[in-house]
C-alpha cells in the first residue's frame, strides 16, 4: 500500500503479471515489453520500390497473386486493428477494476468499525450532528447501575481503573518505592477484607466530634474556636481559605479568602424552594436526620428534635445561598480581585477575630502572620452579607445553637461516607434526589478512585509504567506545537484585534508551557517517597487515613506561603482523563490518562488524532485567551495588556457566544451562557486551531488513505472524531446539576454549538444555510 498524494499521474500504470512487468509509456505509442524491445511496427507497403529490369514487384505478380496479396494485406490490417482495439479495451478494463486504496492496518480497520458502530446514519448530520455521531454509541452503552452519567470519558476511566487495580494488588516486594506501598496499604484499608469498618461503626466519627466540640459553651467567640477546628480539617464551612499564586504577581504566593459553605452543590437548590415540597430539600433534610440518628440512637423524641434543628440549619444555609454570588457574575477576575490586609478585613468584616483565626491555621506549619499580612479577597459582598447573617444569628442562644449545628453538620457530612454500610446507604438515598440514581461502583473501583485522590502520584507511577511507553510524549509535544502554530497563524486573520494586542497574544502563546504525561519525579523512588513522607497510612484505618490525609493536604498548601510558586507543579494525577490550563502559570497540562484511544493513538489516522486530542489541546491553549484567561499576561500576571478597542470588540464577540448558548435547552431548561462562556470560547477556538493544524500536517505529509466502509473523507472524519469524544448520556437530575453548577455546557451542546459556528464543517457536510447545524448567524472569537 502507498499513500495517495493527491497528484494523479495520468497515462502511467504499473502492474505485476506472470513474472513480466508491462508498462505503457504513452497512449499514442506502442506497448513496450520490460526487456526493452518493442513490437515490430506495421509493415509499410508504400509504392515506389523498383527491382532490376524496370518492372516493379507488383507488375511481375499474376492476377491471382495480386488478389491474394491484397487480401493478405487487408487481413493483416484487420488483425492489427482488432489487436489494438483489444489492447485498448483491456487497458480500460484494468483501469475500471482498479480499486481505491484504503488503510487496511489493524488499527484502521478497528477504528473504522468503532466509528461506524457509534454513529446513527438515519439522522441527518445537518440537523443534529451529535445524534448522527453518537446515536449508535448511546444505544449500545446504557448508563450502568450506580451512575448518573456515562460517556467515553467514564468508559476509558474504567479501563484505567483496571490497570491501577492490577498494579496496586501486586506483592509489596515488587513495588519500586515506599510511597507505592503506602498506596497499596490505603487501597487495602478501603477494601477492608477484615471488615474493620463495619465493626467500628460510628465510633471513629464520634471520636473526631468529641475532639472538636470539647464541651464548649454556646458563646459567639466559642463559635470561632469551633470554626477554626473545622477549618483545620480542611472543611470549608462559612467560607474558604487557601494559599496560591498572587494573580497580580505570579512570582509570589498569598493567602486567598472566598465564599463557600453550602451543604448542597449549588445555591439554586435553595433559592425559592420549600423544605416540605421540594424533592431535593426533603431528601437533604431526611439525610441530615438519618445520619445523626445513626450516630446517636433511634429514640423517636430525639429524632423530632434533630429534625427541627436541621430545618433551622437548612434555613441558615438558605441565607448563605442568597448571599452567594452566582458563577455567571464571577467571570471577570479583575473585578473579583481585592487585596486587603488582615486589619482591613477585620474592619470590613468583624464577624471573627481574623488575626487569631489566620495564626491558628498557619501555626500548624510554623508560620505566623501580622495585621499587615496581605490577603486576596474574591467576594467582599458575600463576606459583608455573611457578617450581618452571623451578627443576627449570634444575638440569642437559638441562633448560636443553629450556627453550631451548622458547623457540626458539615463535619458529619464530610466524614459519614467513610463509615459503615448504613451510613453509606443513607448517602446513596440522598444522592438519588440529586443525580437520579442510587448505589455506587463495585467496591474495588470506588477504592481505586479514593486511592487516586489520596496517593495519586504514587499510584500514577505504577500506571505510567504499565501504559505510557515509547515516544508518546514526543509525538504529543509535536502535535501541541502544530496546534499552537495554527493558533498563532490565525491571529492575523482576526480583523477585530489591533496589531499591538496581536503581537502580545503571539508572545503569550509562545510562552505557554506544555506539560505532558506525568511529572518525572514520580519515577524516582527517593523523590516520590519524600512527597508522601509526612502522610501516615495504616492498612486497617480507612477512616483515619482520610482524616490524616486532609490534614496533610492542608499543611502542604499552607507551607508554601513564604515560598515562591513551583513551576510545572501538577494538579492532576497521571491516570486522570482530563486536561487543564493554569492562568497564573500559563501552563497547559495533559496527563497520560487521556493520551490514549479513543482520544489519541500514534497508529490512528491523523484526522482522528487531531479531531479528538488535537481539539483538547487547542481547547486548553484557547483558555489562555478566553474571557478570564485573556486577563493574564504571558507571565501569568493579572493586568491589562490589551488595547481598549480590542477589549471592546472581544467582548462583543464573547457576548455573541453567550447569547448563542443561552438559547440552547436541555430537558426544557436553558443553558447558562454566561456561566459556560469560557469553556464555550475554548471549544470553538480549539476546534479551529486543531483543524488548521491538521491541514498543515496534510500539506507536509500528503493525504491519508481513506478508512474502509466509513464513506467519509478525512476532513469530515476530523469533525466526526471531535463529536464522538462527547458521546454520552445522563439522567435528567444529573443534567440539571450540570446546568446549574458546571462551567462546561452539556456534552451534546458542546458538539452542536461548536460545529454550528464552523463554516468549514457546514461546507464539508453540505449543510444548507439556515439548517440547524448551519445557522446564518455564527459566532467567532478566535
Among candidate residues 180, 228, 587, 620, the one labeled active-site is 620
Half-sphere exposure of 342 (CA within 13 A, CB side): 16
CA distances from 4 to 96, 100, 694, 709 (A): 18, 10, 17, 18
| Range list of H helices, 542-676 | 542-558, 606-609, 615-623, 644-662
Q: Where are the alpha helices (DSSP H) in 27-151?
A: 57-60, 63-97, 106-118, 129-140
Measured CA distances, 23 to 42, 90, 729 (Å): 20, 13, 57
Grid cell, residue 390, equals 452571623
- Give me the catalytic one of 541, 683, 704, 733: 683
Structural element, H or E, at residue 21: strand 20-23
The Cα 115–Cα 133 span in angstroms is: 8
β partners of residue 254: 244
Q: How many CB atoms lie within 10 A of CB 316?
A: 21
C-alpha cell at position 619: 481547547
- Looking up cell 493527491 gives 6
Please answer whether residues 380 and 323 qualify as being in contact, where contact means their C-beta atoms are separated by less than 8 angstroms: no
Placement of cell 465510633 in the chain: 203
Terminal C-alpha separation, the chain: 39
Contacts of 575 (CB under 8 A, 6+ apart): 160, 163, 164, 452, 456, 459, 460, 463, 591, 592, 593
**What are phi and psi for residue 566, nearest 5 degrees?**
-75, 140
Of 283, 149, 74, nearest to 737 by C-alpha is 149
CA 125/CA 631 separation, integer angstroms: 37
Cell triple for 3:
499513500
Is 620 labeled as catalytic in the residue annotation? yes
Find, among 752, 753, 727, 730, the residue nearest to 667 by Cα: 730
Q: Which of 233, 236, 171 is nearest to 205 (CA)?
A: 233
Q: Cβ-count burial of 771 within 10 angstroms (0-12 exposed, 13-18 middle, 19+ buried)?
A: middle
> What is residue 613's DSSP assignment?
I
Adjacent-strand bridge partners of 587: 513, 582
Cell numbers describing residue 306:
434533630
Distance CA 71, CA 67 (A): 6
Pull the grid cell for residue 704: 491519508
Q: Which residues contact 486 (CB under 8 A, 6 or more apart)?
A: 618, 689, 690, 692, 693, 696
- Dihedral, CA of residue 554, residue 556, residue 561 and residue 566, to nearest 10: -130
Query: What is the rounded distance in angstroms from the CA atom of residue 610 to the CA atom of residue 600?
Result: 8
Q: Which three cell numbers stand for residue 478?
A: 509535536
- What does the alpha-carbon distance between residue 641 and residue 668 come to, in Å, rounded to a whole number? 41
Q: Can you tell me whether residue 452 is helix, strand or coil? A: helix
Active site residue 44: no
Supply the residues annotated as catalytic: 620, 683
Amino acid at each position: 500500500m502507498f499513500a495517495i498524494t493527491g497528484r494523479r499521474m495520468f497515462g502511467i500504470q504499473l502492474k505485476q503479471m506472470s513474472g513480466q512487468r508491462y508498462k505503457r509509456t504513452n497512449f499514442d505509442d506502442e506497448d513496450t515489453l520490460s526487456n526493452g524491445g518493442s513490437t515490430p511496427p506495421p509493415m509499410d507497403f508504400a509504392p515506389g520500390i523498383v527491382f532490376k529490369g524496370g518492372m516493379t514487384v507488383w507488375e511481375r505478380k499474376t492476377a491471382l497473386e495480386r488478389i491474394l496479396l491484397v487480401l493478405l494485406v487487408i487481413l493483416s490490417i484487420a488483425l492489427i486493428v482488432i489487436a489494438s482495439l483489444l489492447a485498448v479495451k483491456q487497458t480500460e478494463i484494468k483501469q475500471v477494476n482498479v480499486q481505491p486504496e484504503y488503510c487496511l492496518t489493524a488499527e484502521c480497520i478497528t477504528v473504522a468499525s468503532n466509528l461506524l458502530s457509534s454513529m446513527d446514519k438515519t439522522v441527518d448530520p445537518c440537523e443534529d450532528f451529535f445524534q448522527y455521531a453518537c446515536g449508535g454509541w448511546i444505544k449500545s452503552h446504557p448508563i450502568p447501575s450506580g451512575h448518573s452519567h456515562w460517556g467515553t470519558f467514564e468508559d476509558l476511566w474504567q479501563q484505567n481503573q483496571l490497570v491501577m487495580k492490577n498494579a496496586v494488588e501486586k506483592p509489596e516486594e515488587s513495588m519500586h518505592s515506599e510511597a507505592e506501598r503506602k498506596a497499596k496499604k490505603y487501597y487495602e484499608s478501603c477494601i477492608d477484607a477484615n471488615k474493620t469498618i463495619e465493626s467500628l461503626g460510628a465510633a471513629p466519627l464520634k471520636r473526631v466530634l468529641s475532639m472538636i466540640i470539647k464541651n464548649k459553651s454556646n458563646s459567639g467567640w466559642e463559635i470561632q474556636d469551633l470554626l477554626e477546628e473545622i477549618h483545620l480539617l480542611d472543611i470549608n464551612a462559612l467560607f474558604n481559605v487557601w494559599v496560591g499564586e498572587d494573580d497580580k504577581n505570579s512570582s509570589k504566593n498569598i493567602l486567598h479568602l472566598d465564599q463557600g459553605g453550602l451543604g448542597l452543590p449549588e445555591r439554586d437548590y435553595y433559592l425559592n424552594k420549600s423544605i416540605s415540597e421540594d424533592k431535593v430539600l426533603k431528601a437533604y433534610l431526611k439525610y441530615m436526620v438519618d445520619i445523626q440518628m445513626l450516630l446517636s440512637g433511634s429514640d423517636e423524641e430525639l429524632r423530632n428534635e434533630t429534625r427541627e434543628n436541621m430545618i433551622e440549619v437548612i434555613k441558615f444555609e438558605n441565607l448563605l445561598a442568597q448571599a452567594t454570588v452566582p458563577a455567571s457574575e464571577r467571570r471577570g477576575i479583575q473585578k473579583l480581585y481585592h487585596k486587603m490586609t488582615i486589619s482591613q478585613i477585620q474592619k470590613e468584616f468583624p464577624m471573627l477575630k481574623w488575626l487569631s483565626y489566620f495564626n491558628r491555621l498557619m501555626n500548624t506549619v510554623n508560620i505566623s502572620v501580622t495585621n499587615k499580612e496581605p490577603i486576596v479577597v474574591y467576594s467582599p459582598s458575600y463576606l459583608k452579607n455573611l457578617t450581618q447573617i452571623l451578627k443576627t444569628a449570634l444575638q440569642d442562644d437559638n441562633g448560636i445553637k443553629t450556627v453550631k449545628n451548622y458547623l457540626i453538620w458539615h463535619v458529619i457530612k464530610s466524614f459519614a461516607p467513610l463509615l459503615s454500610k448504613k451510613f453509606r446507604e443513607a448517602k446513596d438515598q440522598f444522592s438519588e434526589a440529586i443525580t437520579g440514581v442510587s448505589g455506587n461502583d463495585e467496591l474495588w473501583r470506588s477504592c481505586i478512585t479514593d486511592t487516586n485522590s489520596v496517593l495519586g502520584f504514587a499510584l500514577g507511577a505504577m500506571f505510567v509504567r504499565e501504559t505510557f511507553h515509547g515516544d508518546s510524549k514526543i509525538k504529543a509535544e509535536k502535535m501541541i506545537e502544530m496546534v499552537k502554530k495554527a493558533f498563532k497563524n490565525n491571529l492575523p486573520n482576526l480583523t477585530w484585534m489591533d496589531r499591538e494586542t496581536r503581537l502580545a497574544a503571539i508572545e503569550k502563546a509562545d510562552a505557554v508551557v506544555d506539560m505532558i504525561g506525568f511529572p518525572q519525579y514520580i519515577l524516582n523512588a527517593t523523590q516520590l517517597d519524600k512527597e508522601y513522607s509526612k502522610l501516615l497510612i495504616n492498612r486497617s484505618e480507612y477512616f483515619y487515613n482520610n482524616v490524616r490525609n486532609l490534614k496533610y493536604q492542608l499543611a502542604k498548601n499552607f507551607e508554601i506561603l513564604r515560598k515562591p510558586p513551583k513551576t510545572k507543579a501538577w494538579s492532576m494525577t497521571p491516570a486522570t482523563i482530563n486536561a487543564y490550563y493554569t492562568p497564573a502559570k500559563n501552563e497547559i497540562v495533559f496527563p497520560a490518562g487521556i493520551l490514549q484511544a479513543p482520544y489519541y493513538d500514534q497508529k490512528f489516522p491523523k484526522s482522528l488524532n487531531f479531531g479528538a486530542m488535537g481539539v483538547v489541546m487547542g481547547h486548553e491553549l484557547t483558555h489562555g485567551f478566553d474571557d478570564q484567561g485573556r486577563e493574564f499576561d504571558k507571565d501569568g500576571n493579572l493586568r491589562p495588556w490589551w488595547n481598549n478597542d480590542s477589549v471592546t470588540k472581544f467582548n462583543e464577540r464573547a457576548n455573541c457566544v453567550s447569547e448563542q448558548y443561552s438559547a440552547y435547552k436541555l430537558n426544557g431548561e436553558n443553558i447558562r451562557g454566561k456561566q459556560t462562556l469560557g469553556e464555550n470560547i475554548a471549544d470553538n477556538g480549539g476546534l479551529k486551531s486543531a483543524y488548521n493544524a491538521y491541514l498543515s500536517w496534510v500539506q507536509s505529509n500528503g493525504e491519508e488513505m481513506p478508512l474502509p466502509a466509513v464513506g467519509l473523507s478525512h476532513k469530515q472524519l476530523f469533525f466526526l472524531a471531535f463529536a464522538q469524544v462527547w458521546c454520552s448520556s445522563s439522567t435528567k437530575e444529573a443534567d440539571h446539576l450540570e446546568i446549574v453548577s458546571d462551567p462546561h455546557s452539556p456534552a451534546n451542546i458542546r458538539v452542536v454549538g461548536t460545529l454550528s459556528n464552523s463554516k468549514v464543517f457546514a461546507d464539508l457536510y453540505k449543510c444548507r444555510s439556515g439548517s440547524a447545524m448551519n445557522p446564518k448567524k455564527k459566532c467567532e472569537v478566535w
